[in-house]
């Protein structure tokens, strides 16, 4: 019996160490191998301990003892005293096992809860919005401002919101078409540079057709039709950024994209 209890105690101790190893690996940079080994060892040890507890610790037999006559014989008294003493020792061992069980379950629960901090912001703030805001000035990758006379007709430029040139969600392709085309800011139109098919950069522009093209899978978007899909596997239009030209001649956004940029995802609807 004591050997079996010892095996359970060792398993519970291993579970505690496995959970601690997972937490330590996560806290020191998140090595996936060590994290996986830690939580796997902890889970396996807990399973072994639970199985052993069910078969070795929990009694499965029913004992019926006749009521003794009193006074008991001296030999019976000695036997009873010995049984009571053994029972007290078992209770003490059971308390130690219960303490180990509580520690193992508690440490494993902590190992499962700790990664919650990696969930980050809700998808609503990450996928539905970019760094573009009303009044955000349009800049190049070096941070220089974009003015109304910087592009000729059918010219293109990769631009960003001021102060967010490193944000991949906010990259925009600026295109200039003839000013006579309605719905433009002196001929300027701006579209997300992230393809709505697989997220590749829409890096090509066909000036004659006035189409933005993704070189990865050849999705093409009509600049003059609010980024509508012309061909290719993309299933929805390229989001357009509303822009204007300020009194100082600098291009500015009048708000964020009206819809999420990039490929479709489950919350998009």
- Same domain, yes or no: 130 and 92: no
**Residue 136, pLDDT above cutoff 80:** yes
Token pair for 9: 């105690």
Concatenate the DSSP letters of all residues of 187-234 into one string.
TEEEEESB-TTT--B--EEETTTTEEE-TTT--EEEGGGTTEEEESS-
Q: What residue numbers bound the domain in which 95 lies?
A: 2-119
Residue 59 lies in a domain: yes
Residue 261 lies in a domain: no
Q: What is the pLDDT of residue 57?
A: 73
Q: Is pTM beyond 0.85 here? A: no
62 or 13, higher pLDDT: 13
- Same domain, yes or no: 91 and 154: no
Domain end among 70, 92, 119: 119
Distance CA 123, CA 267 (A): 8
Q: 196-235 pLDDT, tens per residue? A: 999 999 999 999 999 999 999 999 999 999 999 999 999 8
Give the closest residue to 263 by CA, choosing from 198, 191, 214: 198
Distance CA 141, CA 152 (A): 19
Q: What's the number of domains the chain is made of?
A: 2
Residue 133 lies in a domain: yes
Q: What is the pLDDT of residue 63?
A: 64
Confirm if 260 and 127 have CB atoms less than 8 A apart. Answer: yes
- Same domain, yes or no: 106 and 9: yes
- Same domain, yes or no: 40 and 70: yes
Residue 267 lies in a domain: no
- Same domain, yes or no: 30 and 131: no
User: In this predicted structure, which of 36-40, 127-131, 238-242 has the lowest mean pLDDT?
Assistant: 127-131
* SS3 state of residue 87: helix
- Same domain, yes or no: 67 and 169: no
What is the average pLDDT value for the chain, to the nearest integer?
86
The DSSP secondary-structure symbol of 255 reads S
* Whole-number percent of the chain with pLDDT over 70: 80
Residue 23 lies in a domain: yes
Q: 76-108 pLDDT, tens per residue? A: 666 666 765 665 566 566 778 888 889 999 999
Confirm if 212 and 221 have CB atoms less than 8 A apart. Answer: yes
- Same domain, yes or no: 214 and 102: no
Domain end among 58, 89, 119: 119
Q: What is the pLDDT of residue 177?
A: 96
């Amino acid at each position: 019996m004591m050997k079996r209890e010892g095996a359970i105690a060792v398993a519970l101790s291993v579970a505690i160490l496995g959970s601690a190893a997972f937490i330590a690996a996560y806290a020191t940079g998140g090595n996936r191998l060590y994290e996986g080994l830690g939580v796997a060892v902890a889970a396996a040890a807990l399973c072994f301990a639970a199985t052993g507890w069910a078969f070795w610790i929990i009694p499965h037999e029913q004992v019926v003892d006749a009521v003794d006559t009193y006074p008991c014989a001296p030999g019976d008294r000695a036997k009873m005293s010995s049984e009571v003493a053994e029972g007290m020792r078992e209770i003490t061992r059971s308390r130690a096992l219960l303490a180990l069980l509580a520690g193992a379950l508690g440490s494993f629960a902590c190992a499962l809860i700790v990664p919650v901090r990696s969930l980050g912001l809700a998808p609503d703030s990450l996928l539905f919005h970019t760094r573009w805001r009303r009044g955000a000035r349009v800049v190049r990758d070096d941070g220089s401002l974009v003015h109304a006379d910087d592009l000729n007709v059918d010219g293109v430029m990769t631009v960003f919101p001021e102060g967010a040139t490193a944000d991949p969600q906010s990259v925009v392709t600026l295109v200039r078409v003839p000013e006579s085309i309605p719905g433009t800011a002196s001929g300027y139109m701006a579209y997300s540079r992230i393809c709505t098919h697989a997220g590749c950069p829409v890096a090509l522009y066909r000036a004659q057709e006035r189409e933005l093209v993704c070189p990865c899978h050849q999705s093409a978007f009509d600049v003059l039709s609010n980024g509508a899909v012309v061909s290719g596997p993309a299933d929805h239009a390229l989001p357009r950024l509303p822009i204007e030209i300020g009194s100082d001649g600098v291009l500015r956004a009048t708000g964020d994209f009206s819809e999420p940029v990039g490929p479709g995802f489950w919350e998009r609807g």
